[in-house]
A and B are shown apart, each in its own frame.
Chain A
Amino acid sequence: FTFFPGTPRWPDHRQDLTYGFADQLTDEVKAVFARAFERWSAVTPLTFTPTDSYFLADIKIGFFTGDHGDGEPFDGVLGTLAHAFSPTNGRLHLDGAEDWVVAGDVRTSPLPSAVDLESVAVHEIGHLLGLGHSSDENAIMYPTISSRTRKVELGSDDVEGIQYLYGSNPNYNGSTSTTSTHERETSGGVRD
């Protein structure tokens, strides 16, 4: 695991965080993010609560296309999928041009460009909380994810990293597993 330069984190007095959406999203899409936040709150003392007030939310989530004003334009289908800022900025941006799969088995999607929304959300939340990219291919914070792939469970590397920043959730039982199923991934790299 890695951190951003200076190891920024949410301070102790801001660990019950709110999140809001820039767009009018369905409950099904919002539920995807709720599940993604839950994966991080399960292993840390952090809590995440949805709010209707996008501008007052600690974490601001939005879908954008192309140049959307932060100097990091999106590039259309595939390529760059999303990005997020380090603590305590709170911005999480996703490429609105992607074919986001919200429910169902992404592996069986007829769309070769189908991307699992929850998988990307879990990764980007890691950035919001202070984690950088990991070389551990089993980690959520590994930078690449193939289309038609689902990878949502935190790996041990992710848990070690986030607990270094925030400590452990008192109810965390210490078990983690990583499930990654994919079609297009071809790497045969050695695990760190």
Chain B
Amino acid sequence: RFFPNITGLPPLPFSKNGTLAPWDAFTKFAGCRSGEKRDGLAKLKQYFNEFGYIQNAPSNFSDDFDDELEKALRVYQQNFNLNVTGELDDQTLQKIVLPRCGNADIVNGTTSMNSGKSASFHTTKHFHTTEH
């Protein structure tokens, strides 16, 4: 749907069928931490799998807040300049539910925004600067 002129449109509900955006349901996991089990947590793991934070996905994710989810959360928080807590705090959830690009943040586990900046990367930049 294209809106060439958005002025004058009547206010509409958040989406056409009255439901929330796809990831808004994740906000119910606020405060969830390692060791807990919550219905639907598997979908959050699928989210992290889709964007490269969980590699080697099983056929079915469990609803357990396990070590793998905590590790994914920590990397995500690092990438988005959030406090690295490993928990589903409000700040992290507010970021997760935002609309976003479908491309993964981590591709084949090899590149990753903040969390992928290795010592060699910084060394390369250093030499680049020295050269100038």
Contact = CB atoms under 8 A, between A and B. Distances in A.
A119 to B, nearest CB: 11
Interface string B65-108: 00000000000000111100000000100110011111101011
B119 interface: no
Interface in A92-136: 96-106, 108-115, 117, 120, 123-124, 127, 132-135
Contacts of B132: none
Contacts of A133: 79, 101, 103, 105, 113
Interface stretch (B7-15, B31-39, B56-64): B7-15
B107 A187 contact: no
A103 B91 contact: no
B23 A83 contact: no
Contacts of B2: 26, 29, 100, 102, 117
Contacts of B112: 2
Contacts of B51: 143
Contacts of B4: 26, 28-29, 102-104
Interface stretch (A10-18, A72-80, A165-173): A72-80
A184 B97 CA distance: 11
Interface residues of B, number: 40
Q: Which interface class (under 10, 10 to 19, 20 to 34, 35 or more) fits A?
A: 35 or more
Interface in B15-71: 15-16, 21-23, 51
Nearest to B1: A99
Contacts of B7: 104, 108
A58 interface: no
A188 B81 CA distance: 9
A135 B111 CA distance: 12
Contacts of B120: none
Contacts of A188: 91
Contact of B91 (A3, A76, A115, A187): A187
Contacts of A96: 1
B125 to A, nearest CB: 10
User: Which 4 pairs across A and B sit closest by C-beta, in order of nearness?
Assistant: A189-B81, A79-B22, A83-B102, A78-B21
Interface of A: 2-5, 26, 28-29, 72, 74-84, 96-106, 108-115, 117, 120, 123-124, 127, 132-135, 137, 143-147, 184-192
8 contacts: A76-B15, A77-B15, A79-B23, A133-B103, A143-B51, A145-B101, A189-B95, A192-B81
Given A82-B102, A135-B79, A144-B80, 5 more contacts: A76-B22, A81-B102, A99-B3, A135-B81, A191-B81
